A = this chain, B = another copy of it.
């Protein structure tokens, strides 16, 4: 993939500060960054904004809002702040992970409805503040306690129902296994609802449900095919490399960045 499209999600360099990741990006002539909010909070929003603006990097997306079931009010106190932060950082979108199931409630439909209500509220505020809301379906292995929206189809259904201002972030790691994924990418494209595209790889075997993601090309995902499907919808945004990996986090940052760039060029 064309390097002009590369955005570095800060989760790929979990042990580095925002400033360190920004410097690494600039040094490597990268055009965009996808920060996590903890990295923003470490230095404070104003300083984070200053660091990023001074660097010339664009913010492809801010990770993340959501986790609606954290309280009885759609986690609104935190989600409101997340939208404000995304606005301040001029982020391309605010990425949403829905959170898991309602406490003491095994009725998944009720969780889905509660999440959809929270998303509608966020989209309303996002529209006011100029922040696109990007709903990211997560792999079904997170359905219980992290994200109960687990397929691209379901995410698009919700976005379509809500309307303007909300779309999907498509993370290859979460959706690659789904025989319906190509059709849903096409559908999201036709609706103008592809707000983000994230890549890494699924390792076989995977030894940890959270922190064993792979560098593009080291796993089983046909990333080139997925990229082609996404680009053929006319989607023209950044592609974030987001790799949660206890193993890769141990590499020297320069070495890791070199690998990321090489793989992005040749495997995505």
Cβ–Cβ contact B209 & A141, under 8 A: yes
Q: Shortest CB–CB separation between residue A77 and chain B, in angstroms?
A: 24
Cβ–Cβ contact A206 & B141, under 8 A: yes
Cβ–Cβ contact A202 & B112, under 8 A: no
- B-facing mask of A135-170, CB < 8 A → 1, else 0? 000011101110010110010000000000000000
Assuming A101-B220, A106-B220, A106-B221, is B209 touching A206 (CB within 8 A)? yes
**How far, in angstroms, from A151 to B140 measured CA to CA in the complex?**
11
Cβ–Cβ contact B204 & A144, under 8 A: yes
Our pick among B100, B109, B179, B204 for the contact of A100 (Cβ within 8 Å) is B204
Copies in the complex: 2
- Beta-carbon contacts under 8 Å, A103-156 to B: 106-109, 112, 139-141, 143-145, 148, 150-151, 154
Cβ–Cβ contact A107 & B222, under 8 A: yes
Give the size of the chain A interface in residues (CB under 8 angstroms).
31
Assuming A108-B179, A179-B108, A222-B106, is B101 touching A144 (CB within 8 A)? no
**How far, in angstroms, from A220 to B112 measured CA to CA in the complex?**
14
B residues near A108, Cβ cutoff 8 Å? 176-177, 179, 222
Q: Closest residue of chain B to A220, judged by CB?
A: B144
Among A150, A154, A202, A204, which residue has the most Cβ atoms of chain B within 10 A? A204
**How far, in angstroms, from A140 to B139 measured CA to CA in the complex?**
8
User: At the interface, yes or no: A205 with Cβ under 8 Å from chain B?
Assistant: yes
Assuming A100-B204, A107-B222, A204-B100, is B140 touching A177 (CB within 8 A)? yes
Q: Shortest CB–CB separation between residue A167 and chain B, in angstroms?
A: 19
Q: Shortest CB–CB separation between residue A173 and chain B, in angstroms?
A: 11
- B-facing mask of A27-46, CB < 8 A → 1, else 0? 00000000000000000000
Q: Taking beta carbons and an 8 Å cutoff, which residues of A are in contact with B? A: 100-101, 106-109, 112, 139-141, 143-145, 148, 150-151, 154, 176-179, 202, 204-206, 209, 219-222, 225
